Structure 1
Amino acid sequence: MGYMCNVVFAICISAAIGDFVHQLPNVAHYEVVRPLPLNNRNKRSLAQGDEVKRYPDELRYELHFDGRNHTVHLEKNRFLIGRNYTETYYNQDGTPVTTFPFNESQDHCYYHGYIQGLDDSSVSVGVCSGISGFLQARQQMYLIEPLGRGVDGEHAVYRAEHLKGTEGAACGLSNSTEEHDSAIQPRVARVYEPIGQRNEPRFDKPRYVQLYLVVDKTEFDRYKTMENVRARMQHVAHLVDSYYRAVNIRVLLVGMEVWTAADKFTVSSSEDITLDNFLVWVKENRVKRVHFDNAQFVTGIDFSGDTVGLTNTFAMCSDRSAGVIQDYHENALALAGTIAHEMGHNFGMSHDAAGCSCGPYRESKCLMATNVEKRAQTFPKLFSDCSLKQLSEFLNSPAIGCLDDPPEPDSLYGGIVCGNGVVDTGEQCDCGPVEECKNPCCDASTCRLTAGSQCAEGSCCENCQIKPPGSVCRAAAHDCDLAEYCTTSGTCPVDSFKMNGQVCNHGDGYCYNGLCPSANAHCKRLWGPDARSPPECFHRNMRGEAEAHCGYSGRTPKPCSDRDMMCGKLFCDGENWVKKHPFVGQGGSWPFPRCYFLADIFDPAGHGMVPTGTKCGHNRVCYNYKCQDVEVYGNKNCSANCNNHGVCNHKGECHCDPGWASPYCSSKEYSTPDNGVIIGVCAAGAVILLLALLVGGARFWKKGKPGYFCKKKPHSGKMTPSYQREHAGESQLTQPLNISQPVFLETTSKRMDAPSVIPVMPSRPAPLPPQNSPRLSSQGSNAHMRPTPPPKPSPAVSAKLAQQPTPPPVPPVKPSAVNVDMRHTQVSLT
């Protein structure tokens, strides 16, 4: 009897412990599931001697939740960690230790994937100690986390809205900028976008952000060991990458620094002070660390109020591309969402306004929401339609060159593997796993081109065939851009634009970093199409006072000289918006008649100044708030080296006409389709003309012969000689000709620099061209419509200028920085 009581007591205790294990205090309701593994395997590697990995390249699990069985397909995130990933920590004496913890023999445990049979599904999880992450299915977000340890144990699956939020969540964005009518706020997202080139958001081109994480002492003390910190930060970076995958941006974690001994600067509860200190640290230590595009500082310090993040807007690829983040929630999705939000500001995205939406959700549930409804979708995953438009506009600027270079295939984690979606060394193509590949040009099982295919992807690849050389693959967007042409591969050459200082906009400006800046255009970009820049306002810049100056000396505004006054503060005017509002944009006022400006207090990024590169006189441009000779760009006439078959691009290299070979466009690389078109058309025309003459002559010769026609056609008698003599003086027209009046059609072309072409159908088919004629492309006939470069100048005279301008900047390269510092704060996304 006593034995039975003990057994019953033990069973009761076990049941109680089991109930305790299944308790998640931060979740209102969840289902308990046990994942069932399904034939998990490693992919075939092109490298030799691969060892069996602890975490396979592919995983499949069956999960039962929401009353259904779901088959989850997972693939290892090869873009998560670069092969040269570094970690830095500090000994107790402050000595830094840098390691390279990941190599071919080590592994990671983070996966992306989808749910079988659901087209709109996505999965992002880590399987290090059980499965943890999220699943998106049927427009619903589910979270999964282990209840014990191990992938084969019990897990909790619950909807995102069942996760209890943190009280007091609100936006930390300055209220002063929210009080003004959003319709008149300057649209800074369009500052770098050429007017007339605004289209619907498209993310066809892949981009790559190399992320560096810095973890302070407070955060390290929370997780105790480097292993724990590493696991959390890698999981967070993996989730951030999953957010940006939807817009074809991959986030690679290239390094992490953990302050295990002491903080390297003062970490304050004031997010502004902490961000300023972090920016100084980044500037001083960037060259000592692995190369990165964006840095995020993660702290355990509680920022003031509800703020959990602060960053600069439009800062991606600049030395201010950084943010500070408070790790305020135990779920990694919270930290990942905050980093993705702050990085969104770096990309030029602002907070979502009323009317924005992400899929079925309204603005309060999107990633760039000002604040998030409590007890709603606690951790948003999607960008709103408003954010996508702003992101697309920013990515179209020439100032994000740091994101264009893909990582080398062998530098990605895991080495060379067929089926990872990356064309590695030894592969002709790679369209991903066999079950996901939809590219008819690529054999997913071998990563080789299918029979008869010349290419598998790229804007110079059409129907698995390489387009004819010389075909336009990227048209010039405006007169400071350069068109790119197909060569002999399926990939379009790298995007290039004209060298700084080239004349643009019909002589009204000079190209600068791929744009044609002007005061008028800048006013329109900030305030709308009715705005303009009145020249009579700029004399006020000579006063050197607040809102009228040529920059600052410390905190004191500097007066402009008479020559430089057009290069200082920007003044705008406009009939429609000026009369409606006593304040302009983000706090700009109108103390002067017809002279309106963007107030400095709300413009730390300097958008209210005349843009660098604006024309201020003949052969003169604004540079560093001074009107300087265009030679300040330091450019030589390098187009003279292009042998009249090309012009210089922003790199100082010859951008050759189609068919001419780099580097100096001095030799033919291939025959362009235009030459074949001209030859073929001329030959066909000559043949047609010869045939017409022969047929006409034969008819004329045979006309008088009897029996020319089998049957004589009846005639009216008007062709007889007697009729002709009788009516010789009369007109042959008895009725007026029915000639229609011309009808003028309005063009539907959006390009102002290229005429519309109306195709005319021939009355009969044209003769076939010779078999060896070059293949024509749909763009071939326009591929040569380029202005003739100027003739090679005479040798320069070796003489020194009496007075040199301000020391020239470094010769322009593909820009990688936008010099801005507008800040946004982010608060708890719960």
Structure 2
Amino acid sequence: MTYSGYFIWIFFFSRGVIADSVRSLPHVMKYQPVIPQRLRDSSLINDAATHQTYPDVLQYSLAIAGQNYTLYLEKNKDLVGKTFSVTHYSDQGTQVTSTPDLGVHCYYHGHIVGVEDSSASIGLCSGIKGFVRLRDQMYLIEPLAGTEAGQQDNRQNSEPHSDEGLHAVYNYKHLRRKRSSCSHGNTTTFYDHGAHPSGLFQLSSLKSSAQIKDRTGKPRTVELVVVVDNTEYKKFGSKKTIVARVLEVVNHVDKLYRPMGVRVMLVGLDIWSDRDHIEVSSVPEVTLGRFLKWRQQNLLPRTKHDNAQFITGVDFDGSTVGLANVNAMCTANSGAVNEDHNINSIGVASTMAHEMGHNLGLSHDTESCFCGTSKSKGGCIMSESVGLEYPKQFSSCSRQQLSRFLEEINPACLLDTPSTNRIYGGPVCGNAFLEPGEECDCGTVEECKNPCCNATTCKLAEGAKCAEGECCESCQLKASDSVCRPRAGDCDLIEYCTGFSASCPTDAYTQNGLPCNSGKGYCFNGQCPSREQHCKRLWGPYAHVAADACFSRQGNCRKTFGQRCLSRDQSCGTLFCSGGSEFPVTSSKTYKTLPNGDTCNEAIMKPEDNYPADLPMVPTGTKCGSNMVCYNQRCQDIKSIKAYGTNECSAKCNNHGVCNHENKCHCDHGWAPAFL
């Protein structure tokens, strides 16, 4: 039974609760009062003996929609990085940075025992607050009595079946939300209206095949900084309350991304306690531009991070609550703006997950997308708008897009897996990172789908020889003649399993200088570079090399000083392209139109962009003549360049192999192991 208004008061008095101590919930239309019971499981750690206020594992008995469930919770030990810091500002504008002791915090992830399709994100700092998803329904829980947000209970009670006090449980559809503009009706809130494109859509080809092929399936970590504006700070009234709310938000965002193989770790929080450090406009596009400029000039130089999310208390125009650049992760534009549009943190957490999704290359869901096991088309995180329900999961389309973004675009900053000394508490079984002392780590018991790994102990299952890897199949090592990494191009080599390791041998490629692409190029570091392909990487699949006149009139052969090319080096300097997208992956360009109408487009780099410094230039190794390649922006003879080696190695391979990049024989299959 749900309660509202007058009926709640009857319940309070019948339970002996003083009415004045009960919080009102004006942001909730109706809810069910419950008293969660903390349980003791003899198989869990005896927290009473260790005097842990917030132990690693907890269980609660909780009534949801008239039925009793057991809520299983594990502390999210990867929520914050070890270098996590909070910066606020004195009245005089001086930065004050502190490092809170969050080694023992109160934020958890979990699930409903016995319900496979369930999840939970919970904070226990001041009562029980968070979300619980039961299949395609999401429920919210928050305390009706006790301390305010941001104030810890200081509870030491670890007795079994302890009373956690009166709480409200309600379906998320009953949470009041921001009203939209009249043109969209009054039940729809829009996350953004056409997030801007930004860089990186084909950068995979700039990386070696080893980087792309060896990184698939491994967890990525977004190291996040959250920035809170002055309006938001004043709304909640204290630094402590803001810190608690942001941790609650990021804990929820991390939980949403975990099934996608992405972790979100908070490494910094910047609270504008004195004033706004940019002019925060009600126009989201304007605020986004100003915030990203501030990030580049002020935040990036002092705090290493991958992504920055701005939370504002300003009401954006119309029904929009967030805006972000698409494909911007790991660039100078990696960030978003989010309006905190609901007293419950689920609102801004959902917005942040959505906008970060754009940064990760996700577009809005279409009619063909669904999320959850019920094939529901509603409640997906990348839906363009929120109707009567907040999103619960990423859709099938989002999963495919993220997989493509990670495997093809392969943003470098996410490959920087945090070492255990950067994660609070050191190695943790169940965080999906293989760490010292572990034979495997498939995530939490809830997440683990790997029959070869014991999720509780992070040891191999009985009889298993391996748990993951290109050379692991059905928990056993593959035979030595099994291909584990097929050839990815003219300049790549096939790798075979060794028979004694679950990992594929190190990716090898041909010796530099071998002909490729039907003689149109020469191999260089596993690639067959060309001006034509590089134009497509920079400007999209319909781009091509510009007219020769662009190179002879405009070409520069030095990135820094704009040095003009000698005649023989013109094809090795600045890369000019024609056609393709309006802007390149760097988001900036210059162009010139020749008298005959031909266009010379040049991609421009900004100092703060996280791209290779020579990205706008003709790629190193590009063929510029017979036995001639571009090297240091000059057209040089291959034989004069040390990086191109000699033919001596190939002569030692007895016509049954080729020379690889380490100048060793990479033998044909059946003759001998590679690298002899």
- Give the TM-score normalised by the residue count of structure 2: 0.71
Of the three residues 290, 313, 319, the one matched with 2:332 is: 319
3-state SS in 2 of match to 1:390: helix
Aligned position for 2:394 = 383
* Matched letter for residue 156 of structure 1: A
Q: Give yes or no for contact 1:567–1:622 (8 Å, CA) kept in 2.
A: no
Give the Cα–Cα distance (whole angstroms) in 1 for the partners of residues 247 and 327 of structure 2. Answer: 26
1:79 lines up with 2:99 in the alignment = no
C-alpha change, 1:278 and 1:108, in structure 2 (3 Å) is same
Q: Which runs of 5+ in 1 are unaligned?
A: 1-9, 178-184, 551-560, 574-591, 659-671, 680-782, 789-830
Of the three residues 162, 177, 181, the one matched with 2:174 is: 162
Aligned position for 1:396 = 407
Of the three residues 310, 334, 345, the one matched with 2:323 is: 310
Q: Give yes or no for contact 1:429–1:456 (8 Å, CA) kept in 2.
A: yes
Give the Cα–Cα distance (whole angstroms) in 1 for the partners of residues 440 and 74 of structure 2. Answer: 18
**Which segment is superposed worse, 74-83 or 22-31?**
22-31
Cα deviation for residue 572 of structure 1 reads 6.2
Cα deviation for residue 206 of structure 1 reads 1.6
1:413 lines up with 2:412 in the alignment = no
Aligned position for 1:278 = 291
3-state SS in 2 of match to 1:218: helix
* Matched letter for residue 637 of structure 1: A
C-alpha change, 1:356 and 1:43, in structure 2 (3 Å) is same
Cα deviation for residue 328 of structure 1 reads 2.2
3-state SS in 2 of match to 1:243: helix
C-alpha change, 1:44 and 1:655, in structure 2 (3 Å) is farther
* Matched letter for residue 28 of structure 1: M
Of the three residues 135, 138, 141, the one matched with 1:138 is: 135
Aligned position for 2:90 = 91
C-alpha change, 1:24 and 1:259, in structure 2 (3 Å) is closer
Q: Give yes or no for contact 2:513–2:644 (8 Å, CA) kept in 1.
A: no
1:147 lines up with 2:181 in the alignment = no
Cα deviation for residue 356 of structure 1 reads 2.8
Aligned position for 2:643 = 637
3-state SS in 1 of match to 2:260: coil
Give the Cα–Cα distance (whole angstroms) in 1 for the partners of residues 51 and 240 of structure 2. Answer: 23
Cα deviation for residue 121 of structure 1 reads 1.2
Aligned position for 1:798 = none
* Matched letter for residue 372 of structure 1: V
Aligned position for 2:33 = 32
Cα deviation for residue 208 of structure 1 reads 1.3
Cα deviation for residue 232 of structure 1 reads 0.6
Cα deviation for residue 240 of structure 1 reads 0.9
1:370 lines up with 2:384 in the alignment = yes
Cα deviation for residue 468 of structure 1 reads 5.8
3-state SS in 2 of match to 1:402: helix
Give the Cα–Cα distance (whole angstroms) in 1 for the partners of residues 393 and 434 of structure 2. Answer: 28
1:457 lines up with 2:468 in the alignment = yes
Cα deviation for residue 60 of structure 1 reads 1.0
Cα deviation for residue 333 of structure 1 reads 1.4
Q: Which runs of 5+ in 2 are unaligned?
A: 1-8, 148-162, 181-188, 210-214, 557-566, 582-594, 604-608
Superposition pairs of residues 482-501 of structure 1, within 5 angstroms: 489-492=501-504
C-alpha change, 1:348 and 1:612, in structure 2 (3 Å) is farther
Give the Cα–Cα distance (whole angstroms) in 1 for the partners of residues 523 and 260 of structure 2. Answer: 30
Give the Cα–Cα distance (whole angstroms) in 2 for the partners of residues 186 and 656 of structure 1. Answer: 41
3-state SS in 2 of match to 1:307: coil
Q: Give yes or no for contact 2:522–2:623 (8 Å, CA) kept in 1.
A: no
Aligned position for 2:183 = none
Cα deviation for residue 423 of structure 1 reads 4.0
C-alpha change, 1:90 and 1:125, in structure 2 (3 Å) is same
1:128 lines up with 2:136 in the alignment = no
Give the Cα–Cα distance (whole angstroms) in 2 for the partners of residues 29 and 205 of structure 1. Answer: 42
Superposition pairs of residues 551-700 of structure 1, within 5 angstroms: 567-571=575-579, 613=619, 617-618=624-625, 619=628, 629=635, 636-637=642-643, 654=662
Aligned position for 1:683 = none
3-state SS in 1 of match to 2:578: coil
Superposition pairs of residues 711-790 of structure 1, within 5 angstroms: none
Aligned position for 2:518 = 506
Aligned position for 2:561 = none
1:359-408, Cα deviation, whole Å (9 max, x unpaired)? 456666422222233xx21x212222332222222111254122123222
Q: Give yes or no for contact 2:198–2:328 (8 Å, CA) kept in 1.
A: no
3-state SS in 2 of match to 1:84: strand
Q: Give yes or no for contact 1:85–1:100 (8 Å, CA) kept in 2.
A: yes
C-alpha change, 1:436 and 1:345, in structure 2 (3 Å) is closer
Aligned position for 1:668 = none
Cα deviation for residue 245 of structure 1 reads 0.8
Of the three residues 233, 246, 264, the one matched with 2:259 is: 246
**Bigger Rg, structure 1 or 2:** 1
Aligned position for 1:255 = 268
Give the Cα–Cα distance (whole angstroms) in 2 for the partners of residues 288 and 302 of structure 1. Answer: 30
3-state SS in 2 of match to 1:338: helix
Q: Give yes or no for contact 1:511–1:613 (8 Å, CA) kept in 2.
A: no
Aligned position for 1:299 = 312
**Which segment is superposed worse, 424-433 or 314-323?**
424-433
Give the Cα–Cα distance (whole angstroms) in 2 for the partners of residues 640 and 43 of structure 1. Answer: 63
1:268 lines up with 2:281 in the alignment = yes
Give the Cα–Cα distance (whole angstroms) in 2 for the partners of residues 273 and 501 of structure 1. Answer: 50
Cα deviation for residue 595 of structure 1 reads 9.3
3-state SS in 1 of match to 2:349: helix
3-state SS in 2 of match to 1:506: coil
* Matched letter for residue 62 of structure 2: L
Cα deviation for residue 319 of structure 1 reads 2.7
* Matched letter for residue 266 of structure 2: L
Q: How many aligned positions are there? A: 599
C-alpha change, 1:391 and 1:347, in structure 2 (3 Å) is same
1:338 lines up with 2:344 in the alignment = no
Q: Give yes or no for contact 1:43–1:419 (8 Å, CA) kept in 2.
A: no
C-alpha change, 1:432 and 1:400, in structure 2 (3 Å) is closer
Aligned position for 1:180 = none
1:688-730, Cα deviation, whole Å (9 max, x unpaired)? xxxxxxxxxxxxxxxxxxxxxxxxxxxxxxxxxxxxxxxxxxx
Cα deviation for residue 135 of structure 1 reads 1.6
C-alpha change, 1:673 and 1:524, in structure 2 (3 Å) is closer
3-state SS in 1 of match to 2:382: coil
C-alpha change, 1:498 and 1:143, in structure 2 (3 Å) is farther
* Matched letter for residue 578 of structure 2: L
Residue identity (%): 41
Q: Give yes or no for contact 1:364–1:372 (8 Å, CA) kept in 2.
A: no
Give the Cα–Cα distance (whole angstroms) in 2 for the partners of residues 188 and 398 of structure 1. Answer: 6
Cα deviation for residue 292 of structure 1 reads 1.4
Aligned position for 1:227 = 240
Superposition CA RMSD, Å: 5.3
